[in-house]
Amino acid sequence: MTENLDATDWAILTELQRDGRLSLTELGKRVSLSASAATERVRRLESAGVITGYHARVDLAKAGLPVTAVVRLKYPGNRHAPLHALLRERAEILECLRTTGEDCYLLKIAATSLGHLETMVDELLELGSTTTNLVYSEPLPYRGLPAGPVGGRVGGQTGGG
């Protein structure tokens, strides 16, 4: 499952999470590898599915979406189709997690205004009951994963396949 990443792989992941547009030459320098060696490592991480993609991050407020909210959706029954359709259709839904607990789904929504958010919530209310919380701020701007096989390997068994 975990593709057995060594320290160099982790260094690469850290750098590319920090700056996804890093040239392979510069990346090589930072992890003490030649450009071609770094390239091969990166290609391997990509095809192994460890790196799933590279994306620009956009400031929501500056892009005209000053309202962010977290909506929890309590979804009776198991008919996922309508929700999935909504996820595809409404690009304002930035993220959707299916979770344990009373609320089956947790959605992160960006809106142009409270009115806009209200419209979005109304659409969700056709599926189930919702709990909405506005987002004041994001105290954790951005950061990648822990750099390396995380220190806290507590209770290590991840379910020995």
Enumerate residues 24-43 that contact a second copy by CB under 8 A. Answer: none
Supply the minimum distance, in Å, between the C-beta of residue 63 and DNA. 18
Task: Using alpha carbons, list the distances in angstroms from residue 135 to 17, 64, 114, 138.
Answer: 24, 16, 12, 8
Residue 92 and residue 83 in contact, taking contact as beta carbons nearer than 8 Å: no
Among 5, 8, 60, 70, interactor with DNA by CB under 7 A: 8
Beta carbons of 50 and 4 less than 8 angstroms apart: no
- Residue 26 contact, options DNA, a second copy, none, Cβ 5-8 Å cut-off depending on partner type: DNA
- Report the alpha-carbon angle 71-74-78, nearest 5: 130
Interaction with DNA in 12-51: which residues (CB under 7 A)?
23-26, 32-37, 39-41
129 near DNA, judged by CB under 7 A: no
One of 17, 35, 74, 128 touching a second copy (CB under 8 A) = 17
Token readout for 74 is 């309590």
Task: Indicate which of a second copy, DNA, none lies near residue 136 (CB less than 5 to 8 Å, by partner kind).
Answer: a second copy
Tokens 């259709």 belong to 89
Residue 12 CB, nearest distance to a second copy (Å)?
A: 9
Residue 95, judged by CB atoms within 10 A of its CB (0-12, 13-18, 19+), counts as: exposed
Per-position x/- string for 58-97, each x denoting binding to a second copy as judged by CB under 8 A, each - no binding? xxxxxxxxxxx-x---------x--xx--x---xxxxxxx
Which spans of this chain sit near DNA (rule: CB under 7 A)?
8, 23-26, 32-37, 39-41
